[in-house]
Structure 1
Amino acid sequence: MLSAEPQHQHDYNGSHGMVLFAANDTLLVSHLPLYRPPHDYQLVYEVILPEQASKAVLAELSQTRQLTLLPENFDLRQMIDAGQFTLNADIYQGHFEREGTLWLSNLPVRFVRQVYKRRLNNTDVIAGTIKYATFTSAGQQFMLHQIGTAPSFDQILRVSEWPQTLQFDNADAQSATVQLQQQGIEVQQLYLESRDFSL
């Protein structure tokens, strides 16, 4: 006998924007999550662009310019399940939903390796604290804020070394960065978004 279908099916096929950043000459994307399913995943992936586009993107990122990537509609479970796949995508200077400017259009983007995955779960983060996950790519170290109960934020930091702790009490994005610097750690903020995670 066939099992009953769940009453609340979420359509994973749709628009899933991402922010681009770099680890040396390796390009990475971070899915722009939301609290509501099916967008409630923090996902970081290594991607490959055509050679000329890759050089142009790396040059822009080296000038600390924000770039966002909007692929054609696709099933987010390909990223969740750590698949390898190729999508056509547009790249925007700035945030594609916040007056960003279309820069490169209809580029083939190869998604080659899942670097990080976490489903948003408020119980992962103790009230009154903020907590980071870490990952390494192409010899560089990164910290990704674990989004918690609203108000919260999505943040990616590149750091020169791992801190003594990945959890900060009574902190926000700015004060956590200051605390890292007070430990002698070089910090570069690559992305910060709070509007989507406000009350």
Structure 2
Amino acid sequence: MTDHHHHPSGECDTTGRHGMLLFGAGPVYLSHLPMYHCPHHFQVLLEAELPPGVLEKVTGDGLFTFDPDPFPIAELGPHDGPARTTLTGTVFRGHFERGGTPIAKGVRVTVRRVVWFRDIEDAAASGGGLPYLCFGRGEQVFLAHELTTRPNFDQVLAVRFVPGTVRTQVGHPLDDDVAELRFDQAQPVTFGRDDGIDRRLHAGEVATGSFALTRSPSFSRGFTVGVEVERELYLEIDELA
């Protein structure tokens, strides 16, 4: 994804090949593989739907990516009118630019929900703590490292909430069932350590996440919960150095 597009005025034309990580199953999610230059300077998470027959091809623990036909990724951002609702491209087993194998071509993906969209070109440094974005529901909950200033890293994790660990921000126990923690829109969550590649979350780790801006199911103003990292789905460092 090394293409650059600029209008004569210098404003970025965001049309390009915007490769995406493909993961989950019911719903499926797409995570744009970003960089800090035009036209790829956007962190985007999408809830999507695959056509019949394609979903069965992307099951298992392997890496899957989606290479959509070139399109302006800004069309997925907040708009006054309808946002882009479909993408067409090729599904790969493995990384589409690093030896991956195409397993389905001409795939029309329906965008059901834009879970997160942010321009990271001039992103500020983390305000404190190791920042992630939490999204999903039921048996499918994920963390994506929230991208701030460079150098940075792109990481997506499959996680689970530890039962009986929901607390207020000051540590008082709450009766909230972790199964009720459902995030159709990505929610910022921080962990009590500095932001940096060497401090990232790892598979098998259990850490306390702080949802300072999110109400718990019992409407507590912010809460903490134990988060167990089940699997690392993706990690990229070099493209964001």
Superposition TM-score tier, normalisation by shorter sequence:
0.7 to 0.9
**1:7 counterpart residue number:** 9
CA distance in 2, matches of 1:196, 1:185: 27
CA distance in 2, matches of 1:125, 1:31: 20
Residue 20 of structure 2 corresponds to residue 18 of structure 1: yes
CA distance in 2, matches of 1:45, 1:180: 26
CA distance in 2, matches of 1:13, 1:138: 35
CA distance in 1, matches of 2:37, 2:10: 12
Residue 69 of structure 2 corresponds to residue 67 of structure 1: no
Aligned ranges 1:1-199 → 2 under 5 Å: 7-22=9-24, 24-57=25-58, 59=59, 63-81=60-78, 83-120=83-120, 121-126=122-127, 130-137=130-137, 140-161=140-161, 166-170=190-194, 172-173=196-197, 175-178=199-202, 181-183=205-207, 185-187=227-229, 188-198=231-241
- Give structure 2 stretches of 5+ with no counterpart: 1-6, 168-188, 208-225
What is the aligned residue count? 188
Greater helix share, 1 or 2? 1
CA distance in 2, matches of 1:50, 1:106: 11
Summarize the Cα distance change of 1:160–1:149 in structure 2 as closer, same or farther, 3 Å threshold: same
TM-score (structure 1 length as normaliser): 0.80
CA distance in 2, matches of 1:151, 1:18: 20
TM-score (structure 2 length as normaliser): 0.68
- Give structure 1 stretches of 5+ with no counterpart: none
Deviations 1:171-199 (A, max 9, x none): 6446432598244642121111112012x
Report the more deviating stretch, 107-116 or 146-155: 146-155
Question: Shift of residue 124 of structure 1?
Answer: 4.0
Q: Which has the larger radius of gyration?
A: 2
Question: Shift of residue 167 of structure 1?
Answer: 3.5
Amino acid across the alignment from 1:169: R
Report the more deviating stretch, 5-14 or 112-121: 5-14
Amino acid across the alignment from 1:130: L
Question: Shift of residue 65 of structure 1?
Answer: 0.5
Amino acid across the alignment from 1:64: D
CA distance in 1, matches of 2:67, 2:118: 21
1:123 counterpart SS class: coil
Summarize the Cα distance change of 1:137–1:73 in structure 2 as closer, same or farther, 3 Å threshold: farther
CA distance in 1, matches of 2:99, 2:72: 26
Question: Shift of residue 168 of structure 1?
Answer: 4.3
Report the more deviating stretch, 64-73 or 111-120: 111-120
Deviations 1:107-145 (A, max 9, x none): 111112111122214414158x63212223456322211
Report the more deviating stretch, 41-50 or 185-194: 185-194
Amino acid across the alignment from 1:191: Y
